Amino acid sequence: MRIFNFQFSIFNLVVLFCLSACDSKTEPKQDDIDMVAVAKDTAMQVIIDNSFEYVKDHSFENRRFTVITGGYTNFKDVMVAESKGSINSDTLYYLKTDSAERITGSFVSDLDANHSPEIHLLIRNKNTKKVADRVIALVNNKWREIPIVDDREVVARESSNDEWFVNGNLLVRKYPNYDKGLDTAKGTTWLYYKLKNNIFTLEKSEAVL
């Protein structure tokens, strides 16, 4: 179905370009030129949206990052790119995933306040139901994954309801607690991680039963 939508969008875009080319034989008004440009941009955006499983743009200061995965090409890995202009972009990082993993979200932070972003990629494992935050950042002029060090043993099982977000200068993981063998949540736990020297370490934890 994705392939059909992609081909259909390409067809529409070709027709649109042909129509705009025909219009260029006459002297169009300024408003007409703007409308054609807007139509082209809209058609291209529809192609992008229909062609990939996940596409999201993130702004950081005067920079823009795009997270992409899946689609008609059937690639499973996550690509992170930075737009450098209206049409040019540079690939920053490929995050390798296995067949059980899918990206469910992404966001950008600057938790160490160094004016260089951390790009968070939320990955769900369909077998374990765990939602993990895999973070990449620019370290020594190279983009790489930032480890999350946690010596705490998680008593409760991890679930698809895990949440990752930023609270002040801390990265937070929130997840429900379950009794062993039961499907009803008994309470909630919050883990707070601090970014220092390119490593996330557990700063504090809270639990409500």
pLDDT in tens, 181-201: 666 777 888 999 999 999 999
Report pLDDT digits (tens) over 129-183.
788 999 999 998 899 999 998 766 554 455 567 899 999 999 999 988 776 666 6
Looking at domain 52-208, does it have CATH number 2.130.10.120? yes
C-alpha closest to that of 133 among 119, 143, 115 = 119
Query: Is residue 96 very low, low, confident or very high in pLDDT (cuts 50, 70, 90)?
Result: confident
C-beta neighbour count of 181 within 10 angstroms: 6
Predicted pLDDT at 89: 64
Report pLDDT digits (tens) over 118-143.
999 999 888 877 889 999 999 988 99
Would you say residue 85 has pLDDT above 80?
A: no
In percent, the amount of the chain with pLDDT more than 70 equals 63
Query: What is the rounded CA–CA span in Å between residue 75 and residue 99?
Result: 10
